[in-house]
Structure 1
Amino acid sequence: MNDYDIAIIGLGPAGATLARLLDSRLRVIALDKKRDNGDEGFQKPCGGLLATDAQRGFIRFNLNLPTDVLANPQIFSVKTYDLNTRLIRNYQRTYVNINRHPFDLWLKTLIPPAVDVRHDTLCRRIGRLDDGRYRVTFSQNGREEVITARYLIGADGANSMIRRNLYPDHHIRQYLAVQQWFPDRHPVPFYSCIFDAALTDCYAWSISKDGYFIIGGAFPLKSATANFEQMKAKLGGFGFRFGEAVKSEKCIVLCPSRFCDFRCGQDNVFLIGEAAGFISASSLEGISYAFDSSEILSRLLNHADDGSNLNRRYWAATRRLRLKLYGKILKAAVLTSPLLRKWIMRSKISHIAVE
């Protein structure tokens, strides 16, 4: 009774989408750190914006967003700040403002009942058996359980245990995402993208959401907290208003910098979403790539009886996705270059003046 065809570790957008798309004839178990309802348990720090590519995923899936995952207001521009040059520009964007944790929980409700979903679990160990199957040990409600599966799916995000086991000597550039929530005291809600080469070679962000003002950024691991506080102090001179933080959040975020940073798996282990390195280096957006990679893998797993090498086919099928993400690496190199960013912002290309 503890033997499965597929074991999915992690039920963020990638894992939940894969679990929803798999054929009902497959015996599937899915392990997730989040609880099945409420605000307690694991929550990923996230600005909570759905990019255009993620919206296209909903069209392909024939899904509509429920209103209880949407956040107010819907903002149609990003205000870009370069703290070094003090340049400020406004660019049109078509993001959808959402509340990330309810969004993740909603995606889990779409998983068919045939999938054995285990909430509030922690994967402890994985190992390969002599017959090629995988043994997974996890804890739930203070008790350890063991299952076996033919295929193992790593959908466990930036700090993926599955990825570390597969590629112990390979490391992707990492940042610590630090984010705080404040009561919003700004007269007009806004979304911003913030650059400061003195504090991070990545970027920071802010977003108004349901009466709160979220400020966050991706910083070098060793100095993340100090650099975050320095950034807030600088932003006070640009009209940002902070009071007493009502919530603070942190998590590791990946930022691929080489084509070899995208790893898809091997030996009947597959990586999807951020666990595979599928995240934009220029915006740290990963939901659209979680949708794309899980959709690609679901088609292969649903027709896995033809004897072909699924890992090789998955690698080939994600080629276009990996090339697209490599383009984001090149874009990030431009955006995070102080000289090039200064030239772009001074040119006022695509800038929309606010009266």
Structure 2
Amino acid sequence: MDYDIVVVGLGPAGATLARLLKSEFKVLALDKKLTCGTDGFNKPFGGLLATDSQRSFIRFNLNLPLDILTNPQIFSVKTFDIQTGLVRNYQRTYINFDRHKFDLWLKSLIPNHVDVRHNTLCKNIERIIDGYQVTFVQDGQEHVITTKYVVGADGANSMVRRMRYPNHTVRQYIAIQQWFAEQHPVPFYSCIFDNTVTNCYAWSISKDDHFIFGGAFPKKDANQKFEQLKHKLEQNGFIFGTPLKTEKCPVVYPNRWRDFHVGNEQIFLIGEAAGFISASSLEGISYAFDSAEILSKIFNDKLKNPNKAYYQRTLKLRFKLLSKIVKAKILTTPFWRKMIMKSKISHIDNIQQ
């Protein structure tokens, strides 16, 4: 084999795995992104680092560099229920950061013994004796290599998952996000629910003199629903103006146990490719870190049946995500959401000045 392990995708999951693997492995890592700058592939999410992700940094003994952080750092999320008109403020300890710079920084931590290929597209993965043949294109040139193991860390629309499970479908939404010049007198984060528009949710983030509004919408009429919700929010005090840029990407929305697939036959899925994303918040970075850490230990310990070990060791992770599915069903059900918000549990009143 040309390589021991091929990692497809270098977001938080793939970059973490590539960084944690021992140097004795011959590893090839394929990534869509360029090495620097904003050109090339960008993950279109606002960029908030949740508490669970922060715990991973403690385990990894890593600190975030200053140039990744953005302004302001806000300590609450304003939650809007458009159907009832209820608004509540809940304390959150998110870190506001630049997602693209964050991904590039994680990739920069990968040690030199890993063969990292930037600006690449994985085209095909074919089973051969004792492993796989992987075909990818880098800068317009096609390459064919062989490997014992393949790790899919290629996100919601994972090519590796589709190849391994061609008949399996996971519910997906289209995440649409627009950037505007910030015009609100007081910057804020928000979480927005409106079941007449989407049975998922929408969000807003103030970031470095910009206001970002996004949401996850059904594929069929995502653009129409996005604009419909924007119009409703303008009546609730949101200020948009002319969009500076628009971003879109698919997002996995697991809603049952069998939506989590971790791979088999020397193929492994980590992060969002495995369905590891919270249905209640669409937070996936912490699960990317956790699944990559679990798989790295299995490889580094050279366990005889790594697929079986990975399935067993991610059970706790899947049960945690199952609880998020239950939470999401409650939050996206108008009656229960209304009851929770009317109770004012954990709500913090603003002092009017």
Task: Report 1:36-51 matches (<5 A).
Answer: 36-51=35-50
Give the drift of 1:224: 0.5
Match of 1:351 among 335, 339, 347: 347
1:76 aligns with 2:61: no
- Structure 1 distance, partners of 2:29, 2:187, is 38
| Aligned equivalent of 1:335, options 323, 326, 331 | 331
The CA distance in 2 between the partners of 1:128 and 1:173, in whole Å, is: 27
**How does the TM-score come out when normalised to structure 2?**
0.99
Which sections of structure 2, spanning at least 5 residues, go unmatched?
none
Secondary structure, counterpart of 1:201 in structure 2: strand
For the pair 1:141 / 2:139, whether they are aligned, the reply is yes
- Which of residues 316, 320, 325 in structure 2 aligns to 1:320? 316
Amino acid at match of 2:328: A
Aligned position for 2:259 = 261
Residue of structure 1 equivalent to 2:213: 215
The whole-number CA distance in structure 2 between the counterparts of 1:47 and 1:350 is 25
> 2:4 aligns to what?
5
Letter in 2 for 1:291: F
SS in 1 for 2:144: strand
Could you tell me which residue of structure 1 aligns to residue 250 of structure 2? Answer: 252
Q: Distance in 1 between matches of 2:331 and 2:286?
A: 21
CA distance in 1, matches of 2:110, 2:139: 22
- Gaps spanning 5+ residues in structure 1: where? none
Q: CA deviation at 1:47?
A: 1.6
2:191 corresponds to which residue?
193
Residue number among 177, 180, 205 corresponding to 2:178 in the alignment: 180
Partner of 2:118 in structure 1? 119
Whole-angstrom CA distance in 2 between matches of 1:32 and 1:141: 12
How much does 1:132 deviate? 2.1
Query: How far is 1:133 from its partner?
Result: 1.1
Cα drift, residue 147 of structure 1? 1.0
After TM superposition, give the deviation of residue 217 of structure 1 in Å.
0.2
Deviation at 1:139, TM superposition (A): 0.4
Is the partner of 1:202 in helix, strand or coil? strand
CA distance in 2, matches of 1:132, 1:249: 41
Measured against aligned partners, the alpha-carbon deviations of 1:76-122 in whole angstroms (never above 9, x if no partner) come to 00000000001000000000001100000000000000000000000
Could you state the TM-score of these two structures normalised by the residue count of structure 1? 0.98
Task: Name 1:62's counterpart in structure 2.
Answer: 61
Distance (whole Å) between structure 2 residues aligned to residue 48 and residue 200 of structure 1 = 22
Distance of 1:354 and 1:169 partners within structure 2: 50
Q: Distance in 2 between the 1:26 and 1:303 partners?
A: 12
